[in-house]
Amino acid sequence: MNKIKEMFRGFKYRNFRLFFPGLAVSQIGIWIQNIAISYLVYDITKSPFAMGVIMFFSAIPLFLLTPFSGVIADKFNRHKLLLMVQILYTIQALLITLITYFGLIRIWNIALLGMFLNCIAALDAPLRQSTFVYLVDDKKDLGNAISLNSSCFNLARLLGPALGGLIIAYKSVSMCFFVNFIFLIPIIMLVKMMDIKDVKSQRIKQETIFEGLKEGFLYCIHTPQIMTLYIYLALFCFLIMIYPMLMPIYTADVLKEKADVLGFILGATGVGSLLSSLLLAIKTTPRGLRKIMFFGMSLASICFILIGLSKSHPHSHYLAIFLMFGAGFGLTTFLTPENMLLQSVIENDKRGRVMSFNSLCFLGPTSISSLFAGTLAQLWGISNTFIILGTMMLLFGIILSYRLSKFKF
């Protein structure tokens, strides 16, 4: 019983109780939309390379805007920014719903709406991550709040793809976008009800955007723990977090299955991730977190390799579901401790900027690797792509884990 109370202690705080359910529901909707977009693009182009190119160009705003979003989060009122972000997400969802419903969807407007979505995401990720310290009154519970936030995303990763696949199979792609629009509405009301005391120092208020960006950049590059975590995260996201783009191709070309099976495979990833995040909500030491990160990286990498090595047979989708469950467990077992370790060494007035660079390492490499992985899949096949990505991550991860063990947190 005490372990369960320890796992959910973040819910003691009113702001966290308000933010968590709205975030959970909205993220389910966004995952439904992401699966629908991947399915739609591949259905139109039938080309892994074209799919990678489209996703790469739609993600350009992440590279351009994410570094500045941390400065904005440190400089302006986080509560108002959070509310604005949720409204923008809702507008984007409404636009893509109307375009698909009236049959106006084309590759160019998918890419354009993807760029709009990533403009919002560029501000959202560092803003949200740097706001968690204001959602709990006791900083000792910050790690728990981060883990529960991870469980929220993993719950979405569990339910969103499964629901998206079923909606595509039995309804339509446009219905996925409409469901996302409906799921985004509650978080607007819940964020509005929150009471975030975000006090800014006079120095930060008077700094220009570029001065704040320079200060945050210099702070990060001169802190070796932060830079090592950034490199580790960027490589992991480049090589492993590309699976939502690869799985529709793998499902169609190797498993010879349709959207409903894709939903179950990606849903299994969410089950593994959710289980991992709930276990991580129990307090762990920084030393323990480094070991957990290494285990998560190794597990995800090995599952990728095994997916690539598995052969097509009548029941191969069951093996894919099992392996993606393991990969999902590994994903969160790596990502959540990385966030915890990073937030344990940040100075509070630089939190937004440090987390914006962390978000860039999380979001940016995935968009680049969509082009890289799409090219690999086009040239050498989707199975070999999984083997190559998993092997590269395992090798890099061993080197970086050894380096990380030398630092104090």
Task: Provide the domain limits for residue 318.
Answer: 10-197+204-404
Q: What's the rounded Cα separation, in Å, for the pair 174 and 155?
A: 23
Any domain includes 2 = no
Phi then psi for 102, rounded to 5 degrees?
A: -90, 10
Nearest in space to 301 (alpha carbons), one of 270, 268, 272, 323: 323
Q: Alpha helix locations (H) across 222-284?
A: 224-239, 243-250, 259-280
User: 171: helix, coil or strand?
Assistant: coil
Any domain includes 281 = yes
CB under 8 Å to 103, separation ≥6 — which residues?
A: none
Any domain includes 409 = no
pLDDT at position 188: 92
pLDDT at position 327: 93
pLDDT at position 229: 94
Can you give the pTM of this predicted structure?
0.73
Any domain includes 62 = yes
pLDDT at position 406: 83
Nearest in space to 78 (alpha carbons), one of 346, 351, 357, 340: 351
Q: Alpha helix locations (H) across 76-172?
A: 78-101, 107-135, 142-170
pLDDT at position 1: 55
196 near 15, Cβ under 8 Å?
yes
Any domain includes 264 = yes
Any domain includes 21 = yes
CB under 8 Å to 303, separation ≥6 — which residues?
A: 323, 324, 326, 327, 330, 390
pLDDT at position 30: 87
Q: How many domains does the chain have?
A: 1
E runs forming strands in 357-396: none
pLDDT in tens, the chain (409 residues): 566 666 777 788 888 888 888 888 898 998 888 888 877 777 777 776 676 677 767 777 777 788 788 788 777 888 888 899 999 999 999 998 998 888 887 877 877 888 888 888 888 878 887 787 778 777 777 777 777 777 777 777 777 877 887 888 777 778 888 999 999 999 999 988 888 776 666 666 667 777 888 888 888 888 899 999 999 999 999 999 888 778 888 888 888 777 677 778 877 887 888 888 878 877 656 668 889 999 999 999 999 999 988 876 667 778 888 999 999 999 989 998 898 888 878 877 777 788 888 888 887 787 678 778 878 888 888 889 999 999 999 999 999 999 988 887 6
83: number of Cβ within 10 Å: 17
* CATH code of the domain in which 352 resides: 1.20.1250.20
pLDDT at position 5: 67
CB under 8 Å to 99, separation ≥6 — which residues?
A: 105, 109, 113
Phi then psi for 195, rounded to 5 degrees?
A: -125, 90
Between the CA of residue 116 and those of 62, 74, 92, 111, 348, what are the distances in Å?
A: 10, 23, 7, 9, 30
Any domain includes 1 = no
